[in-house]
Amino acid sequence: MITLKNSFYLILFSFLSSVFLIFLLLGIIKLEDKIQSEMIEISTADVKSIVQNSADLIQNTLSIDENFPKQILKNHAYHKKIETNLETLVTQNIKYAYLLYKDKRGVFRFLVDGAKKSNKAFVNQKFDIDNEKWIDVYKTKKPLIIENKFLKQISITYLVPILNKDKVQLLLVIDFSIKKVKEINKIITWIKSALIATLFILILFLLVLLIQSKRYNIVKKTAYIDKLTNVYNRNYLQEYESFINLDDYIIAAIDIDYFKLVNDTYGHDVGDKILKNIGRIILNSTRKKDDIVIRYGGEEFLILAKTKRNDSYTAINVIERVFTNIQKEKFQINENEDIDITVSVGVNLEPHKSKTFSKAFKLADIALYTAKNKGRNNIQIYNENISNDSNKLSINEIKEALEEKRVICHYQKIVDTKTQNTVKYEALLRIVKKDGTIAYPNEILSVINGTFILRNISKRVLNICFEKLISNKNILININLNPQDIVNDTILSMLEDMSIKYDDFANRLGIEITENEDLTNNKEAKINLLRLKKWGYKIYIDDFGSGYSNFTYLAQIKTDFIKIDGDLIEKILTDKISFMLVKSIIGFAKDAGIKVIAEYVSSEEIYFKLKELDVDYLQGFYFGKPCELEEQEI
Q: Which candidate, 604, 631, 633, 601, places its Cα nearest to that of 619?
A: 601
Under DSSP, is residue 348 helix (H, G, I), strand (E, B) or coil?
strand
In a domain, 178, yes or no: yes
| Stated pTM of the model | 0.51
Residue 358 has pLDDT above 70, yes or no: yes
Mean pLDDT of the chain: 85
In tens, the pLDDT along 67-86 reads: 999 998 899 888 899 988 88
DSSP 499-553: HHHSTTHHHHEEEEEE--HHHHT-HHHHHHHHHHHHHT-EEEEEEETSS---HHH
Residue 47 is which amino acid?
A: V
In tens, the pLDDT along 211-249 reads: 777 766 665 666 788 889 999 998 888 888 888 899 899
Output the pLDDT for position 31. 65
Residues 515, 370 within the same domain: no
Number of separate domains in the chain: 3
Residues 610, 529 within the same domain: yes
Average pLDDT, stretch 150-166? 82
Residues 444, 312 within the same domain: no
| Band of pLDDT at residue 155, cut at 50, 70 and 90 | confident
| Band of pLDDT at residue 43, cut at 50, 70 and 90 | low
| Band of pLDDT at residue 203, cut at 50, 70 and 90 | confident
Residue 159 is which amino acid?
A: L
Residue % of the chain over a pLDDT of 70: 86
| Band of pLDDT at residue 5, cut at 50, 70 and 90 | very low
In a domain, 212, yes or no: no
Domain that holds residue 506: 406-631
Average pLDDT, stretch 595-622? 94
Residue 498 has pLDDT above 90, yes or no: yes
Residue 301 has pLDDT above 80, yes or no: yes
Identify the weakest region by mean pLDDT among 145-159, 219-233, 379-393, 577-591: 379-393
Residues 168, 275 within the same domain: no
In a domain, 199, yes or no: no
Residues 251, 357 within the same domain: yes
| Band of pLDDT at residue 180, cut at 50, 70 and 90 | low
In tens, the pLDDT along 273-286 reads: 999 999 999 999 99
| Band of pLDDT at residue 41, cut at 50, 70 and 90 | low
Residue 3 has pLDDT above 50, yes or no: no
Chosen domain end from 359, 388, 417 = 388
| Band of pLDDT at residue 372, cut at 50, 70 and 90 | confident
Segments of 335-473 assigned E as strands: 337-339, 343-348, 379-381, 407-416, 422-432, 438-439
Residues 487, 530 within the same domain: yes
Identify the weakest region by mean pLDDT among 225-229, 390-394, 475-479: 390-394
Q: 121: phi > 0 → left, psi -120 to 50 → alpha, else beta; which?
A: beta
In a domain, 400, yes or no: no
| Band of pLDDT at residue 36, cut at 50, 70 and 90 | low
| CB-CB contact of 325 with 284 (8 Å) | yes
Output the pLDDT for position 505. 93
In a domain, 141, yes or no: yes
Residues 48, 170 within the same domain: yes
Residue 9 is which amino acid?
A: Y
Output the pLDDT for position 524. 84
In a domain, 213, yes or no: no
CATH code of the domain covering residue 364: 3.30.70.270
Distance CA 254, CA 256 (A): 7
Residue 181 has pLDDT above 80, yes or no: no
